[in-house]
Structure 1
Amino acid sequence: MSLTPEVELLTFLADPNPQVRKEAISAIVSFSAKENPKRRLLLDPLKDSNGQPVRGRDGEPLDVLERLKDMCSDQPLAAHDAFSMLVNLSDSPLPALKIGSVDFLQFLVAYIGDSVSLLADLACMLLSNLTKYEPVVTRLLDAKVSDRPFYSFFSPTDLQLSMKGLDADPSAPDYEEQRAKVTEAAARLAKSMQQPEAKEVPAMYKLIRAFEEGATVETSASSGANMRERAEAQKAEAGAKPLEVDGQGRPHVRRRSDCNFLASVFANVSVIPRGREFFVQPFEDADPAFGDSYPVGRIMVYTEHASLIRRGGIISALKNILFIKNKHQLLLAPSENCAHEVIAGAPARQERPHSPLDVLPYILLPLIDGKELSKVDIEDQEALPEACQLIDEDKPREKDPSLRLMLVECLLLLCTSLYGRQCLRTRGVYVVVREAHLAEDREEISEAVVRLVNLLKRDESEDTMRDGGDDHGDVDVGAEENDDDDEEMAVEVL
């Protein structure tokens, strides 16, 4: 049997020695680049000169993708390179579908959900790539993961005290007191090491929790080359100072990853109807920490986050979710007037479902410029949602034009229901888009604002006062409008 040098190098990915695996993967990282001709070696079945499957150093047939997936839980530097290669290789459908197996998705979610995971941001990037493909999204929505973290919560204080008790001097005057403390510490330590049966929670719940935790992590310190630096410095970090512990002696764990790319995951999941429905269903008892809230309510608050990736992904997700026309009453709180007013000739309006949700402030805030709003009449400002009033004058409008367009399209989608149009009319939306239109220099956005204003300012006809039942708005969101409005209401699912 003879192998080319490159293929022989790949066989070391399955070497039992972790140092050998680390050196091997470091030497082949560049193979995963799209333009690299050796990339096919990572994707195609490998054969030796006799046409037989190539075997790794462990004697088993070598599947490079599977080895890379296994190495994501290897030592930090090897895991960093494995994640990086899988991110590169998941840019096309066939490799992505193979990488995104159910068991590997469960690993990714558990890894991202663990606050101490050094490379969770790379895992988020990988998951973002994988969820561009509908079969992977379906697997993710079906997946459940253990709610137990990877790390142990034993108390280092109790461990130290228990070890110290082994050297206690029976002749010491306070021996009995020491013995009692040691016995108590040993009992607490034994109890903490008894792992209770871990419950399983939907994978998406765990991702939302990680996303919320990551919102306060400084983005510049958690991505790019810094991840490799942290992996290299892991041992030094661990020995630099003792763990901070809480009142019960348990380690205080600080998340190291911002998880901003989970916003892209949520946007990808919301592309398919089932994914959109997930975000507007209340959390189940599987995670009581969320109370009676909804997934969309946990993510919608980040439309003005400092990270373009985070706020862009969330705005994309919101736009997709708003295609569910029959959930507008759930997502949009009425104004005091809109709650009781019924337009003459309109069908009797149903009561708004009990809901802590109101998506409108988070759509309007990025469109507001504080200096411009300060010049608007007080009466007009008071019609706005409370969160959009008394804005600091130095607050800027969203700078990214693609996001400004998506925000206007979110408002257009809310106009596909009579309830939505009424709420937008009575809650000051016209004032916000009027000022935004005056300052807008992109023709495409200006045209979208004009379509929105036409819908808000027009009179309702007999036809437009009839909402179309359970329309999920998968493609034609203007189906319930007059023919003249079809072109105005054409908004694309992202």
Structure 2
Amino acid sequence: MPTELEELVGFIAHPNPQIRAVAIENLVPYSVSQPSIFKTEGFTPIKHLKFLVKDHPKIAEHALTILINLTSDQKVLEFVATDDKFLDVVLSYVTEPTEPNANLLAMLLANMVKWDGLKSVATKKQPAPEKLQSDELVLNQLLDLFVKGADGSYNKHADFDYLAYVFADLSKHAEIRQFFAAQQDYDSVVPLNKIKVFTEHKSGIRRKGVASTIKNVAFDLPSHPALLDEDQINILPYVLLPIIGNEVYDEEEMNDMLPDLQLLPPDKQRDSDPNIIQTHVETLTILTTTREGRDYMRKIQVYPVIRETHLRVDDEGVREACDRIVQVLMADEAEPGAEEAAEGDDDDQVVEV
């Protein structure tokens, strides 16, 4: 005979909405403590949960919360992420300007894209809501949603911070790295230029996801000239500013730094998260892969910034990352092996969040 808990799971498919609402609300804690109860009968409860995303907003809220918890399991993740029709539902709902569960949908999408097969989202298209004024390409819609929704002006229920994690995980794939560095036809803007401004945002989720996305895009070597060019993507100020504090540099060092790094306010603080600082330093290391990149970073005095970061951030990962880029920047280019030293090591790999 089924247990009381199994009977409760069965009630999420009940035709009476009041019964569904009570059942699913009571089941939320069990998606963490006893997730196996949702994986019975060939994942039938999860099929019901996916359907309930379209139910009354409160029921949908609990269904999404349970799905977010359950998709930490690889088998459940694959079951959910391989459902193309469900993906279409998530994408169409998250872009709606009045959707009350938009943040939860963004969180679920951030989990779903951890399944590598979901890189196909890069080619998906759907009509864009008029308010969004975007392209039919879903990835462009998500980028515009991330930018326009940051202050709650697009959807009063959502800030869309978790889309930063969507971008970070999608940018593990080479074709999507190239997308982020390529100008889009519909608005003539490079996607990375839309999100780079959030490297110093108040939301740690945004900062972390954007930092990881930038690092992943840096692995596309043909994009390096555009990434470094002040008239194109100009990524360096957005990577360097988060790792700089209120330290004082000597006049010679300061005069050669990028204009954005000069005359910072005395209360300037570096990012409070050492993992984000480490990611930015690793991005700088990847950008030293070419001789042009190394020469440019020496010219704009990246070394003093790294020196001060190493001195002031008490974190082993940050210090090791600083040590690696210092070895590259301080190397004599005339010495044999200088090129190989700049090629990075096993720590310089695409990142997930």
Matched, 1:268 2:169: yes
Equivalence for 1:178: none
Q: Deviations over 1:45-100 (max 9, x none)?
A: 17xxxxxxxxxxxxxxx932122112112112101100001001101122112212
Query: Structure 1 pair 445/11, CA: closer, same or farther in 2 (3 Å)?
Result: closer
**Superposed counterparts of 1:431-446, under 5 Å:** 431-446=304-319
Higher Cα Rg: structure 1 or 2? 1
Equivalence for 1:28: 27
1:485, distance to aligned residue in structure 2 (A): 5.7
Equivalence for 2:99: 117
Distance 1:451 1:30 in 2: 44
Equivalence for 1:211: 146
The structure in which a higher percent of residues are helix is 2
Q: Deviations over 1:171-190 (max 9, x none)?
A: xxxxxxxxxxxxxxxxxxxx
Q: Which amino acid aligns with 1:390?
A: L
Equivalence for 1:147: 128
1:147, distance to aligned residue in structure 2 (A): 0.9
Q: Any idea what SS the aligned residue of 1:146 has?
A: coil
Distance 2:160 2:261 in 1: 27
Matched, 1:95 2:76: yes
Equivalence for 2:159: 258
Which of 52, 55, 58 is 1:74 aligned to? 55
Which of 39, 63, 71 is 1:43 aligned to? 39
Q: Any idea what SS the aligned residue of 1:293 has?
A: coil
1:463, distance to aligned residue in structure 2 (A): 7.1
The size of the alignment, in residue pairs, is 349
Query: Structure 1 pair 369/67, CA: closer, same or farther in 2 (3 Å)?
Result: same
Q: Which amino acid aligns with 1:29?
A: V
Q: Deviations over 1:150-190 (max 9, x none)?
A: x9xxxxxxxxxxxxxxxxxxxxxxxxxxxxxxxxxxxxxxx
1:303, distance to aligned residue in structure 2 (A): 0.9
**Superposed counterparts of 1:221-236, under 5 Å:** none
1:488, distance to aligned residue in structure 2 (A): 5.8
Equivalence for 1:228: none
Distance 1:356 1:44 in 2: 53
Distance 1:142 1:432 in 2: 40
Equivalence for 1:294: 190
Contact in 1 for aligned 2:134/2:140 (Cα 8 Å): no
1:253, distance to aligned residue in structure 2 (A): 6.0
Q: Which amino acid aligns with 1:89?
A: L
Query: Structure 1 pair 68/326, CA: closer, same or farther in 2 (3 Å)?
Result: same
Distance 2:316 2:77 in 1: 37
Contact in 1 for aligned 2:218/2:224 (Cα 8 Å): yes
Q: Deviations over 1:317-368 (max 9, x none)?
A: 111111111210011126xxxxxxxxxxxxxxxxxxxx63110000100111
Q: Which amino acid aligns with 1:80?
A: E
Structure 1: runs of 5 or more not aligned? 47-61, 152-197, 218-251, 335-354, 466-480
Query: Structure 1 pair 30/144, CA: closer, same or farther in 2 (3 Å)?
Result: same
Contact in 2 for aligned 1:91/1:129 (Cα 8 Å): yes
**Superposed counterparts of 1:45-194, under 5 Å:** 45=41, 63-100=44-81, 101-136=83-118, 138-148=119-129
**Superposed counterparts of 1:281-320, under 5 Å:** 281-284=182-185, 288=186, 291-320=187-216
Query: Structure 1 pair 99/88, CA: closer, same or farther in 2 (3 Å)?
Result: same
Q: Any idea what SS the aligned residue of 2:100 has?
A: coil
1:415, distance to aligned residue in structure 2 (A): 0.6
Distance 1:385 1:267 in 2: 26
TM-score of the superposition, structure 1-length normalised? 0.65
Equivalence for 2:275: 402
1:200, distance to aligned residue in structure 2 (A): 6.8
Distance 1:454 1:11 in 2: 61
Q: Any idea what SS the aligned residue of 2:126 has?
A: strand
Equivalence for 1:357: 233
Query: Structure 1 pair 422/485, CA: closer, same or farther in 2 (3 Å)?
Result: closer
Equivalence for 1:367: 243
Q: Deviations over 1:429-459 (max 9, x none)?
A: 1221222223232344223223322322323
Equivalence for 1:51: none
Distance 2:344 2:210 in 1: 26
Distance 2:342 2:121 in 1: 37
Equivalence for 1:19: 18
Contact in 2 for aligned 1:300/1:314 (Cα 8 Å): yes
1:15, distance to aligned residue in structure 2 (A): 3.1
Equivalence for 2:257: 384
Q: Deviations over 1:280-310 (max 9, x none)?
A: 12213xxx3xx22111111111111111111
Contact in 2 for aligned 1:276/1:324 (Cα 8 Å): yes
Query: Structure 1 pair 440/253, CA: closer, same or farther in 2 (3 Å)?
Result: closer
Structure 2: runs of 5 or more not aligned? none
Which of 226, 229, 242 is 1:330 aligned to? 226
Query: Structure 1 pair 84/488, CA: closer, same or farther in 2 (3 Å)?
Result: closer
Contact in 2 for aligned 1:128/1:264 (Cα 8 Å): yes
Q: Deviations over 1:211-242 (max 9, x none)?
A: 1123224xxxxxxxxxxxxxxxxxxxxxxxxx
TM-score of the superposition, structure 2-length normalised? 0.89
CA RMSD of aligned residues (A): 2.6
Distance 1:200 1:400 in 2: 34
Query: Structure 1 pair 143/309, CA: closer, same or farther in 2 (3 Å)?
Result: same
Equivalence for 1:58: none
Contact in 2 for aligned 1:69/1:104 (Cα 8 Å): yes
Query: Structure 1 pair 116/463, CA: closer, same or farther in 2 (3 Å)?
Result: farther
> Which stretch has the larger CA shift, 253-262 or 411-420?
253-262
Matched, 1:201 2:136: yes
Distance 1:71 1:211 in 2: 25
